[in-house]
Amino acid sequence: MLFAQDPDPLPSPASPEKAKVYRIPEVDSVPSGYSLNDENILDFCGQLIDLNIHERRRKLGRELAVLSRYSSKLVQRANFYFPRIEPILSENGIPDDFKYLMVIESGLDPYACSGKGAAGLWQFMKGTAGDYGLNVTDGIDERFHIEKATQAACQYLKNAYRRFGNWVAVAQSYNIGPERVATEMARQRVDDPLELRLVEETNRYTYRIFAAKIIFTHPKNFGIDENLLYYKKIRAYSRFR
């Protein structure tokens, strides 16, 4: 069974003067940062996620509160890495939202290593890296090569989507493996992968991706100066070249 990686801790928090903590709100009041439209629906990879469900709001609120502590550092790194990652995702037919998976995997640190051996922006384990064409030897480790590792991640994500036809399930499979997702969906008899009862880390994993998208999409709600998001300007410039 192939696993892309193992759960990796978030990066060290930004300095207090630069980071603004987004407090966990009362679950009965949904702040503006929760949703992308007035109906409180999140668009993830073209799939609409209903956030009116109480338990989903609670889970998302927790991840927004945690991830926003690191927003200053993540924005700085995104300005460098997003322009390099986005074209590769697009060329491979992978939704742009999967750059947020990379955010929570490595904290946008290309040299990130987990205690269990996952490495790079996409946190590939050594065995899976080899299965997806990355050379990992004593002398070279292409998990740290940004473009090659991103190409490998795209192949992994495409394979998972061919199996599930659902991008949320694909995201979950990156955390626990496609076999586990398929087994649990069959055992629990659910069609919506968000309804799966999984281990705590995986339950939080998907909502952490959602939180990353919301923070980057609505930066002002989290104390981020939108002018600091230079990657958007770079992307806009590249479209008109």
Percent of the chain with pLDDT over 70: 80
Q: Specify the pLDDT at position 54.
A: 86
Q: Specify the pLDDT at position 40.
A: 78
Give per-residue pLDDT as tens, 32-52. Answer: 444 444 457 899 999 999 888
* Of 236 and 80, more confident: 80
In 144-199, alpha helices (H): 146-164, 167-176, 178-188
Question: What is the C-alpha separation between 51 and 34, in angstroms, rounded?
Answer: 8
Give the global pTM: 0.80
Domains and CATH numbers, the chain: 32-239 (1.10.530.10)
Q: Specify the pLDDT at position 31.
A: 43
In the chain, alpha helices (H): 54-67, 71-91, 99-106, 126-131, 146-164, 167-176, 178-188, 200-217, 230-239
Question: What is the C-alpha separation between 74 and 172, in angstroms, rounded?
Answer: 22
Q: Specify the pLDDT at position 200.
A: 82
Give per-residue pLDDT as tens, 116-157. Answer: 899 999 999 999 999 999 999 988 999 999 999 999 999 999
223 within 8 A of 33, measured Cβ to Cβ: no
Q: CA-CA-CA-CA torsion for 86, 89, 95, 96, nearest 10 degrees?
A: -10
Q: Specify the pLDDT at position 36.
A: 43
- Average pLDDT (204-228) is 88
CA nearest neighbour of 95 among 32, 44, 31: 44
21 within 8 A of 223, measured Cβ to Cβ: no
- Average pLDDT (200-213) is 91
The single-letter DSSP state of residue 240 is: T
